[in-house]
Amino acid sequence: MKRFFSWLLLAITSIAPAMACDNTPPTRPLTLAQVMDRALCNDGSSREAWASVRTQREQLAIAQAPFLPTVTGQANWNRRDSSTQKASSMLDYPYQQHTIGLNLTYLLYDFGNRQATLDQARYLLDALQFSHNTTIQQLMHTSVQYYYQLLARQALVAATQEAERVSQRSVDAAQLRYQVGRGVLADVLQARTALSQAKLNRVRAEGEWQQRQGQLATLMGLAVTTPFELVVPNDQSDQDNPNGTAKALIQQVEVLIEQARQQRPDLAAAEAQYHAAGAAVAAARSADYPTLSLNVSADRQQIGGDHNLNNVIGVAVNVPIFSGFAPIHRTRHALIQQEKQEIAWQDLQKQAALEVWQAWHEIKTAGQAVATGRELLLQAQQSLQVAEGRYRAGVGQILDLLNAQNALASAQQQLIQSSYDWRVARITLARAMGQLDRSVEE
């Protein structure tokens, strides 16, 4: 009875309404959580993985069916005509024959075959559910990468625009010195060349920004030409101390690897696949064992004017004797599949440890790069101020000014890229540990 209600609950809970996706163009800047929601709703791989989960739920319900009795009904109607009459016959020809009845068959014992089949279906369902979670985490990680890449390109556009304004100031200063007779035409031409290069850098940055915009729009299920804005994360306090922000994540790497082994859904899916293969071995071994079944039938039969009621109850034993060595080969096949799943599980554990190790070092390196980038930007700003002051005063060279401009632009771009690399590195470590969810924005 408990199994029956379990089967009924599974059948009811497996029917869930589909969530409607919001594909309208956004009218407000999107947060990272909103970007992930849109991407998850419109992604085909996550929907396909969820369809596989629902399919396996039905397979689980099928595997539960042998624990319930099988009931069949039958009804027959016959009309018989004969040209022969016997003295001993009590029937008048022609006559009609009616039969109606029910048959019930219930498997009492099969040496664990149906239980092994049920266990296999359950482990496969667990594996698919964990695989679905893995697909979601992968898509969330991609959403985070696209989100921060777009913000980085947006910040780079602003940086190239600032570099263009700085180059324009150098052109103005060179022209002023040339007009008053304190400079040469070569300085003006070099300054204009630097300005053209700055404009080219700005155009390229704007093009890359537009490409990233279309990439993220497609991921969210929007038209590639849809304009939208993103909320810039307000984590200046985190940027002031990037290494301190990740204190909860940066621990001993052995501890992080152990947490990944316990929390990563792909590892859980691989483990469930291994256990499902073990259940398949048990099912293959028990498939050739005898079975014990209960048979109950009742029918009502009418022949002419006679009525008969028949009730039968009995026990049947089915003993397989020879089936062409198929059970041996099925068992061997199941054992090989179990060995393959065990190897895949072990390899995935090694890969998970490597991913945590790499992400752990990436976040440390990214944090140090942010701190170094700030120092480099401050030095470049001071160097440009000195170079501009010396050139306007007539004691500096145009090459010194242009080099200072290039150094400042390079420092700005490196700091921007390092800042967003640091953000992505935090997300990558969370994904490697199996901890990535919508709260990553907080």
8 A C-beta contact, residue 66 and residue 107: yes
What is the number of structural domains in the chain? 1
Is residue 76 in some structural domain?
no
Please tell me the predicted confidence (pLDDT) of residue 86. 53
Distance, CA of 367 to CA of 327 (rounded, Å): 60
Name the DSSP letter for residue 182: S
Distance, CA of 285 to CA of 116 (rounded, Å): 10
Can you tell me the mean pLDDT for 187-207?
Answer: 91
Is residue 13 in some structural domain?
no
User: What are the pLDDT digits (tens) for 200-253?
Assistant: 999 999 999 999 999 999 999 899 999 999 998 875 445 555 554 444 455 577
Give the domain extent around 166.
Answer: 25-68+111-290+326-441
Q: Which DSSP helix (H) or strand (E) runs through 376?
A: helix 326-392
- How far out from the chain centre does Cα 130 lie? 9
How buried is residue 164: exposed, middle or buried, by Cβ count under 10 Å (0-12/13-18/19+)?
buried
Q: Name the token pair of 256.
A: 């992080």
Is residue 379 in some structural domain?
yes
How buried is residue 87: exposed, middle or buried, by Cβ count under 10 Å (0-12/13-18/19+)?
exposed
Distance, CA of 166 to CA of 172 (rounded, Å): 10
Is residue 91 in some structural domain?
no
Please tell me the predicted confidence (pLDDT) of residue 6. 43
Is residue 12 in some structural domain?
no
User: What are the pLDDT digits (tens) for 2-35?
Assistant: 444 344 444 444 443 445 677 888 989 999 889 9
Q: Is the dihedral of CA 334, 340, 344, 350 positive or negative?
A: positive
Is residue 84 in some structural domain?
no
3-state SS, one letter per residue, for 17-69: CCCCCCCCCCCCCECHHHHHHHHHHHCHHHHHHHHHHHHHHHHHHHHHHHHCC
Q: Band of the pLDDT at 151, cuts 50, 70, 90? A: very high
CATH of the domain at 387: 1.20.1600.10
Is residue 298 in some structural domain?
no
Is residue 433 in some structural domain?
yes
Distance, CA of 282 to CA of 123 (rounded, Å): 13
Please tell me the predicted confidence (pLDDT) of residue 235. 56
